[in-house]
Amino acid sequence: MKHNNQRKLNTGISVDCVIFGFDLEELKVLLIQRKTAQKAPDSRFSLPGDLIYNDETLDEAAIRVLKELTGLENIYLEQLGAFSALDRLSKIEDKIWLESIREQPNERVITIAYFALVNLNSFHPSPANFATSASWRPIQNVTSLAFDHHEIFESAHQQLKAKLQTQPIGFNLLPDKFTLSQLHKLYEAIVGKELDKRNFRRKMIKLDIVKKLEEKQVGVPHKPSNFYEFNQKNYQKLLKEGFDNFGF
Amino acid sequence: MKHNNQRKLNTGISVDCVIFGFDLEELKVLLIQRKTAQKAPDSRFSLPGDLIYNDETLDEAAIRVLKELTGLENIYLEQLGAFSALDRLSKIEDKIWLESIREQPNERVITIAYFALVNLNSFHPSPANFATSASWRPIQNVTSLAFDHHEIFESAHQQLKAKLQTQPIGFNLLPDKFTLSQLHKLYEAIVGKELDKRNFRRKMIKLDIVKKLEEKQVGVPHKPSNFYEFNQKNYQKLLKEGFDNFGF
């Protein structure tokens, strides 16, 4: 792992990021394959993460990890929680990787997990200096991950589902202009079940947090749909009134 | 600070607990005054907390801190988040305390905060081995605390308010039997504003998460009120139905 030699690493604390993206069809998560000291990839997938530097906060470390992978700044990022199970790095494969990369492979590392929401079409992930590859995986294909990352991923997915009930955070996963069908598909992908299309459209329009644009899709094989954009102003108004029922 | 010499401390990670209690009149928080090496109290109040041992999880460390102060186990406890500001221990008074107590007073410590809800009448706080005193303070009197503890306290208070909108967690702060007036007073204390009494009672009864008991208050200077208890069964039923609107 190439680290800035001017800065001192905190060898007991890391950040790991669950980065969700939506390609207008499926909900995906950004996974990496890690570098080892021999530059041979660890074939298992894991969440992107890194030890923190002693001169940065946890938020700054998470932003750094995200920026290295995505090139993006100012994206939706939230602390999920700290994970400290005593056996979180104790699988045989974990040990082999740690021995290849760390000066003190047996030192305990507690990780603080973050979850991020990005518009997947706005960039192509590039492997950061701690990874040999970075790629989007549909969430239903994520069945096992290195370390305790599957537990962290599950926890982030639950948090995403729960948040969607009280905040319209899904908009962070969409391009600025989207159709109601795309929005509906996103909600179905997050909650993991079918949602009645007509009820969904009706409620979304009644909430008045999407604004219809004078612009339609072009070059689609079906009747072109209207584009909408998120109505940030009306949403802030609802928030001020204490409204928090955005669930479907 | 007397620590178990058999166990190795993790000198870079601590837990701090925001313990809320309700005395049927006011919402309070449990604060301590810390021991120094000279056994002289640090006069400033702080949240109870401690470095973690390397053979315990964060949850276990928080449970240990709580048990030392309250003697209680199995109380409502939830991780609030990690706090890592670079200047979180850098006030002059913080430095003096750290120098009196720590082998490496300048080592960076990241803290993971927890919030706990207890029925204040079920015990008397006793100072733990890291404190010279422990006492309940009304939340509106908490204006400054040692380290970054005021920020942590504020964050916990926000979290408590927000949670009350989606889960009836207030019941953890009450005795098993309570009157609707006491419940109403608790909600007012948490949200920090007056709530119409009749609407409150009506909604609470409509939610059907409190059960009227065949028992009234005794020895009160007013007309004795009926006792109620929390209806855990009906609440679980609502949860299963995806209901989450418990706000007032």
Are the beta carbons of B81 and A81 separated by less than 8 Å?
yes
Give A177's DSSP letter: S
Per-residue pLDDT of chain A (248 residues; tens, 9 = 90+): 456 668 999 999 999 999 999 999 999 999 998 877 666 666 789 999 999 999 999 999 999 999 988 888 888 999 999 999 999 998 888 888 888 888 888 899 999 999 999 988 877 888 877 787 889 999 999 999 999 999 999 999 999 998 998 889 999 999 999 999 999 999 999 999 999 999 999 999 999 999 999 999 998 899 999 999 999 999 999 988 877 778 77
| Total CB pairs under 8 A between chain A and B | 56
Query: Which residues, in sequence order, are bridge partners of residue A12?
Result: none
Are the beta carbons of B85 and A165 separated by less than 8 Å?
no
Residues 6+ apart with CB under 8 A from B195: B184, B187, B188, B248
Tokens of A98: 């740690």
Best of A86, A110, A164, A241 to mutate (most B CBs within 10 Å, chain B): A110
Reported ipTM exceeds the 0.85 cut: yes
Could you tell me the pTM of the whole model?
Answer: 0.90
Task: For residue A81, give the nearest of B55, B79, B244 by CB distance.
Answer: B79
Q: Which CATH number fits domain B176-240: 3.40.50.150, 1.10.3720.10, 1.20.120.420, 1.10.10.10?
A: 1.10.10.10
The rounded distance, in Å, linking the Cα atoms of A230 and A228 is 7
Residue B20's alpha-carbon distances to A147, B124, B145, B190, in angstroms, are: 35, 14, 16, 10
Tokens of B177: 């039997």
Sign of CA dihedral B98, B103, B108, B109: negative
**Residues spanned by CATH 1.10.10.10 within chain A?**
176-240
Residues of chain B contacting residue A159, judged by C-beta atoms under 8 Å apart: none
Rg of chain B, C-alpha, whole Å: 20
Best of A16, A78, A84 to mutate (most B CBs within 10 Å, chain B): A84
**Residues spanned by CATH 3.90.79.10 within chain B?**
9-166
pLDDT at B129 > cutoff 80: no
- For the domain spanning A9-166, the CATH number is 3.90.79.10
Give me the DSSP letters along A226-243.
Answer: EEEEE-HHHHHHHHHTT-
Specify the pLDDT at position A213.
95
